Structures are given as C-alpha cells and as structure tokens.
C-alpha cells in the first residue's frame, strides 16, 4: 500500500527557539535585507541609466545584481516575518514555490558567473574582437540562456519533491524549504532521489567551479601580455569576480557535494550564502571598480540637483 500524502503544511524550527534571540535576528536580518535590495537594485539602475557603463561587463554585473536581489527575496522576507511568530509554518505549495524560486535564481546566478568569466576571457585574451564577439544581442541571449538554465534546474528540483509522500512528521529543522530537509521527511525510500540531487546540485557546483577556476587561471596567465595599467585593471576586475565565486560556491559545495544528509552547521552556511553573500556582492564590485563608483557619485549628485 502506497503511503498517503496527508501533510498540508510544514513547521519550520528557524534559527533559534529563543524569543529574545528572534527579536535581535529580526532587526539584524531586516537591516541586511534592506541593504541587499538597495545595493543590488542601485547597481541595476546605474547600469541601465549610465552611458559610461555600456560595456558588456557592466550589463552582466547588472544581471548578477538582479539575480542576487531575486535570490534574497525568495528566502529572506519569509524568514524575517517568521521571526515575529513563535510557531513558523509554511504550506506544502508555498514550500515548493520557495524551492523553485531559490533554485531558479540561484541556478541562473551560477550561469551568469560563468558568462562573466567568458566575458573577461574574451576582453583580455581577444581584445581586438571583443566588441564584435560580445555585442548587445549576444549579451542578451547569454543572459536569457542563463535564465532558461536556472528554470530547468529549478523544475528538476520541484519534480524530485512534488510526488514524494509526506505523511508525518512535518517539522523542518531549517529556516526555509530545501532539498535535504524535505527528503528526510518523506515517508518513502529517497536514496535514489538523494543521489540524483547530489549529482544535479553537487555535480553542477563542482563542474562549474572547476571551469571557473580554469578560465580565470587562463585569464591571469594572459595578463603578462598587457601593460602595467591594463594588468592592474584586469586584476582588480578578476579579483572581484573570483571573490564572489568563492563566497557563493564554497558553502554550496559543502552542503550538496556529500551524501544526502543534514548537519547542524547547514543553517549557518545557508544564512551565509542566502543572506550575507547577496549583500556583499554589490560592495565587492563597487568598492573595487572606479567606473562604477564614479557612475554612482554622478547619479547621486544628479539626484541632488
């Protein structure tokens, strides 16, 4: 007899059971979310309105910031609201929607990082053909392909979970819906699905991370052909990209490149890559990029007038 799916909602344990701790985290994460949205959307606006930032690199930076804002929005607002309540619940449908949203934006963001690495490779290794290869049409198509890739990745995640029977218990020791906590609650054997999740999520993370490391290795090796000023600018840009790649991929690989299971440290790592990293990305790019800082000052002074 097949197990019946009689669970209509899940109870999230969140980050802490302390009411005082929840109040502190509410204020902290609300401030972080505001900074994240303002920072990322400001970059999107600056890239759109500033003629000086017409290069493909800034187009993809705007795309990355948009994805960071979307990724943070799929998780952080719900977590902030839940911190106001002693009992935190989420319906099965809302849980699947959140799962889809986080993997859609997260998957697309990973592919945008790949496209950004390709853009830097063409700019540094094939400078004479850069604007021909990376024209506006190609940039838009690459971004759309990243979105389609994220969509397909997210659909696979939802299909893994959608047909699983949940007949109790319904308590998730996490602050949002993710694959491994949900697999642990399913009242059926999820060994094969768990291995598929490792191959899908973990495999993608490892392969893309290695491709990014190789591509940036090739780029850095090519810097010897540039002038000292060109080398300095390229190192600054690539340094920002590599920092973002490490911040995003290390926690993801720790969580997904292992046998399907949940560990106590998973929640702390999840806070880092779902809440902290989207806030840091705008700071990393703006503080290390003179053109972006200049465009930001120009926009602010224009508004002041």
Span 7-64, pLDDT tens digits: 889 999 989 888 899 999 999 999 999 999 999 999 999 999 988 888 898 999 999 9
Cα angle: 220, vertex 115, 32; to 5 degrees? 95
pLDDT attached to residue 240: 79
Average pLDDT on 146-171 reads 91
Lowest mean pLDDT: which of 110-114, 213-217, 219-223?
219-223
From the CB of residue 221, how many other CB atoms can be counted at a distance below 10 Å?
A: 10
pLDDT digits (tens, 9 = 90+) for 80-103: 999 998 889 999 999 999 999 999
- The whole-angstrom distance between residue 232's C-alpha and the CA centroid of its chain comes to 28
Select the more confidently predicted residue: 270 or 292. 270
pLDDT attached to residue 304: 42
Residues in the chain, overall count: 305
Element housing 211 (H / E)? helix 203-222
What is the residue-wise DSSP string for 89-135? EEEHHHHHHHHHHHHHHHHHHHHHHHHHHHHHHHHHHSGGGHHHHT-
Beta bridge partners of 237: none
**How does residue 133 score in pLDDT terms, banded at 50, 70 and 90?**
very high
**How does residue 70 score in pLDDT terms, banded at 50, 70 and 90?**
very high
Beta bridge partners of 91: 9
**Cβ proximity of 186 and 165 under 8 Å:** yes
Spell 93-105 as b/e; 16+ CB within 10 A means b: eebbebbbbbbbb
Q: What does the block give as tokens for 72?
A: 């943070």
Cβ-count burial of 179 within 10 angstroms (0-12 exposed, 13-18 middle, 19+ buried)? buried
pLDDT attached to residue 37: 95
Strands 171-172 and 88-91: unpaired
CA distance 282 to 62: 10
CA distance 153 to 256: 14
What is the residue-wise DSSP string for 134-173? T-HHHHHHHHHHHHHHHHHHHHHHHHHHHT----S--EES
Q: In 3-state terms, what secondary structure has residue 280? A: helix
**How does residue 239 score in pLDDT terms, banded at 50, 70 and 90?**
confident
Residue 2 has pLDDT above 80, yes or no: no
Q: Could you tell me the sign of the dihedral formed by the alpha carbons of 13, 19, 21, 23, in that order?
A: positive
**How does residue 149 score in pLDDT terms, banded at 50, 70 and 90?**
very high
Question: Model's pTM, two decimal places?
Answer: 0.89
CA distance 39 to 178: 26
Q: What does the block give as tokens for 16?
A: 């802490």
**For all residues of the chain together, what is the average pLDDT?**
87
Q: C-alpha distances in angstroms, 32 versus 40, 46, 162, 280?
A: 12, 21, 32, 10
């Amino acid at each position: 007899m097949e197990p019946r799916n009689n669970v209509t909602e899940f109870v999230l344990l969140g980050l802490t059971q302390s009411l005082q701790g929840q109040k502190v985290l509410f204020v902290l994460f609300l401030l972080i979310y505001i900074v994240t949205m303002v920072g990322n959307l400001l970059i999107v606006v600056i890239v759109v309105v500033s003629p000086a930032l017409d290069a493909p690199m800034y187009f993809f930076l705007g795309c990355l910031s948009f994805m960071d804002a979307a990724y943070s929005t799929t998780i952080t607002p719900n977590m902030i609201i839940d911190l106001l309540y002693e009992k935190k619940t989420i319906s099965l449908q809302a849980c699947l929607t959140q799962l889809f949203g986080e993997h859609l934006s997260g998957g697309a963001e990973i592919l945008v990082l790949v496209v950004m690495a390709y853009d830097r490779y063409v700019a540094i290794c094939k400078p004479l053909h850069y604007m021909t290869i990376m024209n506006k049409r190609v940039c838009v198509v690459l971004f759309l392909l990243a979105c389609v890739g994220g969509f397909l990745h997210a659909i696979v995640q939802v299909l893994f979970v959608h047909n699983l029977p949940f007949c109790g218990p319904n308590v998730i020791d996490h602050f949002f819906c993710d694959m491994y906590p949900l697999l642990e609650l399913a009242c059926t054997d999820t060994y094969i699905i768990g291995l598929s999740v490792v191959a899908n999520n973990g495999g993608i993370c490892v392969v893309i991370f290695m491709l990014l490391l190789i591509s940036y290795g090739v780029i850095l090796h090519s810097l010897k052909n540039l002038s000292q000023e060109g080398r300095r600018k390229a190192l600054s840009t690539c340094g920002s990209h590599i920092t973002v790649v490490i911040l995003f991929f290390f926690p993801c690989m720790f969580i997904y490149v292992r046998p399907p299971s949940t560990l106590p440290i998973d929640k702390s790592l999840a806070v880092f890559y779902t809440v902290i990293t989207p806030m840091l990305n705008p700071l990393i790019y703006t503080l290390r990029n003179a053109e972006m800082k200049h465009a930001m000052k120009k926009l602010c002074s224009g508004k002041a007038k």
